[in-house]
A and B are shown apart, each in its own frame.
Chain A
């Protein structure tokens, strides 16, 4: 049983129409996936682990691939086959890669994008990234219990076409449909709801694991425009780790370490850095060449002194971007902090001093990009929230729908939907060989056609003759920003199409609309009975028609007494269907179904015999 989510007023999705989409922050150091559930954006946790997935992939000799925390833990033990910070290699040839990555991994020049030699063979950065995305996709599908319609994946604002294309390719390899690539600063601004805020100029300071990205955005009419970007693609929290590791190493021994020891040193430095955000002093256990570990006291002041230059380096691109955009700091309305590294108190202080205002830090800086991407994905997937739609002009006052068999109305667009809006639903034919369908467009809240207002009628002709239920006719209702309704019907296999345009609210005063709504409420219980009756009558008629058809063709398959039983059940049902008791009709339908079960089985046997006779087994289309 599908579990339901709380929706915004008037936004409950139709059954099977809830469209889950996720936002993915594919980071250099960590990756996250988020979605909007119960109208609230949240990051999704994996089974037995937190929401943060370290962007680390380990390739093993046996062909198995490990992603995340477990791979990160193996980094010191198996550094050459444990790929971290692969985002730095995305869309890059060997010549463009930084020295750090070249030293850590066995990179191969293949003309185009660089490859990484591992025990499992050479891997492209696209393949490595796709392993991370695959884990996030599986996590999302397990949590949402449904297939994803797509994902919004964030990229740094400065990513060039090759890097963006590589990111899209990685998503495709991971089985994800990319709804859009979204710039990371824009995602952060969306997470803070700045897209719904007053127009103005905002700055995003994003110090992630491996990259520093500073952006200035201008919001006008709900659209973000990137005014200036700057940054340093080789500066991030990792550099703070390395600076601290270097210092700890010099303090402790200064002797050269082997590959796995220096990896362990780096992991310890990261732990110390994170602990210093909440503690003034931390005891580090520094790996040394000869004798295992040495304890070392690290104070916050030491760390800040040591990394002051790194913080200074982030402020250079900030000043440059302001100059490029010809802006003074007091023209910036707010500064959004992104990236785990912005938790470091001296980074926050430096930013606050430069801009003369406290930056936004309420949303967890590690989650903020994924959350913004999830909000965007939710909009793109069609789960629109009022206020998120900047074209929001009005709502439609009464439901719009069409006539179904038996004089029932099927609502396609419920009242109070914001316009513009488009909804489609598939219908099928009722009789064998039906080649045309009358489409009767209705407005109102009542269940029966006679109680609703008729807006338009048109016909779809040229449906190829098929058995009842075989045709697939997609009817699309579209109300544009001016309130104009256009209805189109299209037979999916042949593409024949027909349509009509009407102005639904034309000629109705507010009082008339109120009256139509009120009568909908007053007749609720009566309508419910009427609907149940009509549904059963339609079902009875359909079954009788199908039985008549079957008897026409294959009455010979039944013994005389069996035929008599079927015929008496038919006439009994025919008589019941003219009555007003829907439960009695249901009983009649069940009785006839039971009597025709044997006939259906024999017809099936006969059809199979005909299909198989004279065919060789290996010619059968299985």
Chain B
């Protein structure tokens, strides 16, 4: 059971946390909404909740709430650049299909 960060994702998260000036890591999760069932949640984490599962990856803390874990277990979070646009991408082995844009998915 683990959720990990790619080297690029970790580098950018470290940079963003420094610019933001607070936060102990990131929180990954899912929301049950979206055109194809589920949607990802990607947020700064300021504190860890009592029920959280906390993973260490590339020296950063990754918080996942227990309800989300079954959907994203084994995921690697990556940071990619597409032209002028750049952002994070979930490489999630649980995904069966996703909507065209990849913003929501199904397991």
Listed in ascending order, the chain A residues whose CB lies under 8 Å from chain B are: 1-12, 14-16, 37-40, 47, 142-145, 409-411, 414, 445, 447, 518, 520-521, 524-525, 527-528, 531-532, 535
Can you give 5 A-B contacts (C-beta < 8 A)?
A2-B87, A3-B89, A143-B84, A524-B70, A531-B32
Residue in A closest to B42 when the chains form the complex, CB atoms: A4
Option from B42, B70, B103, B104 in Cβ contact (under 8 Å) with A525 = B70
User: Chain B: interface secondary structure?
Assistant: mixed
Q: Is the CB of A521 within 8 A of B85?
A: no
B80, A3: Cβ atoms closer than 8 Å:
yes
B19-55 contacts to A (CB < 8 Å): 19-20, 26-27, 31-35, 37, 39-46, 51
> CB < 8 Å: which of B16, B67, B89 contacts A524?
B67
**B102 is contacted by which of A1, A5, A11, A40 (Cβ under 8 Å)?**
A1
Contact A9 B34 (CB under 8 A): no
- Would A39 and B20 be within 8 Å (CB), given that A14-B39, A411-B31 are in contact? yes
| CB atoms of A15 and B42 under 8 A apart | no
B105 to chain A: closest residue by CB: A15
B42 A6 Cβ-Cβ under 8 A = yes
Which one of B65, B71, B103 has the greatest number of beta carbons of chain A within 10 Å? B103
Chain B residues closer than 8 Å to A5, beta-carbon distance? 42, 87-88
* Chain A nearest Cβ from B25, distance in angstroms: 11
Q: B13 at the A/B interface (Cβ < 8 Å)?
A: yes
Q: Is the CB of B101 within 8 A of A2?
A: yes
Chain A residues with Cβ under 8 A from B101's Cβ?
1-2, 15-16
Which residue of the partner chain, among B34, B43, B80, contacts A15 with CB atoms under 8 Å? B34
How far, in Å, is B82 (CB) from chain A's closest CB?
7
Most buried by B among A4, A144, A409, A524: A4
Is the beta-carbon distance between A15 and B39 smaller than 8 angstroms? yes
- Interface range on chain B: under 10, 10 to 19, 20 to 34, or 35 or more? 35 or more
CB distance from B12 to the nearest CB of A (A): 8
Chain B neighbourhood of A410, CB < 8 A: 32-33
Tell whether, in the assembled complex, residue A6 and residue B44 are in contact, meaning their CB atoms are under 8 Å apart: yes
On whether the beta carbons of B43 and A47 are closer than 8 Å, the reply is no
Chain A residue numbers with a CB within 8 Å of B93 are: none
Whether the Cβ atoms of B35 and A16 lie closer than 8 Å is yes
Q: How far is the CA of A447 from the CA of B68 in the complex (A)?
A: 12
Q: Are B27 and A1 in contact (CB under 8 A)?
A: no
Residues of A within 8 A of B66 (CB): 521, 524
Given A4-B87, A15-B34, A15-B104, residue A9 in contact with residue B39 (CB < 8 A): no
Q: How far is the CB of B14 from chain A (nearest CB, A)?
A: 12
**Complex Cα spacing A532 to B46, Å:** 32
B100 to chain A, nearest CB (A): 9
List A contacts of B32 (CB < 8 A).
409-411, 447, 531
Find out whether the CB atom of A4 lies under 8 angstroms from the CB atom of B89: yes
Contact: B31 with A12, CB < 8 Å?
Answer: yes
B3 contacts chain A at the CB level, 8 A cutoff: no
Pick the contact of B90 from A4, A12, A145 — CB < 8 Å? A4
Determine the chain A residues whose CB is within 8 A of the CB of B43 once the complex forms: 6-12
Taken together as a complex, chains A and B put the C-alpha atoms of A613 and B80 apart, in Å, by: 53
Cβ of B62 within 8 Å of any chain A Cβ, yes or no, is no
B89 to A: closest C-beta gap in Å: 6
Of all chain A residues, the one with the shortest Cβ separation from B52 is A521
Q: How far is the CA of A11 from the CA of B42 in the complex (A)?
A: 9
Residues of A within 8 A of B84 (CB): 47, 142-143, 145
Whether the Cβ atoms of A14 and B34 lie closer than 8 Å is: yes
A289 to B45, CA, bound (A): 65
In the bound assembly, the distance between CA atoms of A414 and B34 in angstroms comes to: 13
Q: Which of B16, B83, B89, B107 contacts A142 (CB 8 A)?
A: B83
19 extra A-B contacts, CB within 8 A, seeds A4-B88, A525-B70, A528-B107? A2-B102, A3-B82, A3-B85, A4-B89, A5-B87, A15-B33, A15-B39, A16-B35, A39-B20, A40-B16, A40-B19, A143-B84, A410-B32, A518-B51, A520-B67, A521-B51, A521-B67, A524-B68, A531-B32
Q: Does B5 contact A (CB under 8 A)?
A: no
Interface centre among A1, A410, A445, by most chain B C-beta atoms within 10 angstroms, is: A1
The CA of A1 and the CA of B32, in the complex, are separated in Å by 19
Report A-chain residues with C-beta under 8 Å of the C-beta of B71: 528
Q: Tell yes or no: B10 within 8 A of A by CB.
A: no
Q: How far is the CA of A143 from the CA of B81 in the complex (A)?
A: 10
Distance to closest chain B CB from A33 (angstroms): 12
A308 to B24, CA, bound (A): 50
| Interface pairs A-B: 8 shortest CB-CB | A3-B87, A1-B102, A15-B103, A145-B85, A524-B67, A15-B34, A15-B104, A143-B84
Q: Could you tell me the distance between the alpha carbons of A5 and B35 in the complex, rounded to whole angstroms?
A: 19
Within 8 Å CB of B35, what residues of A?
Answer: 15-16
Contact of A14 among B31, B67, B82 (CB under 8 A): B31
- Chain B residue nearest in CB terms to A408: B32
Which of the residues B40, B99, B107 comes within 8 Å of A4, measured between beta carbons? B40
Chain A residues, Cβ within 8 Å of B83:
142, 145
**Shortest beta-carbon distance from A532 to chain B in Å:** 7
Rounded to whole angstroms, the CA-CA distance of A3 and B9 in the bound complex is: 12
Q: How far is the CB of B60 from chain A (nearest CB, A)?
A: 12
Are B33 and A521 neighbours in the complex by a CB distance under 8 Å?
no
Contact indicator B20/A9 (Cβ below 8 Å): no
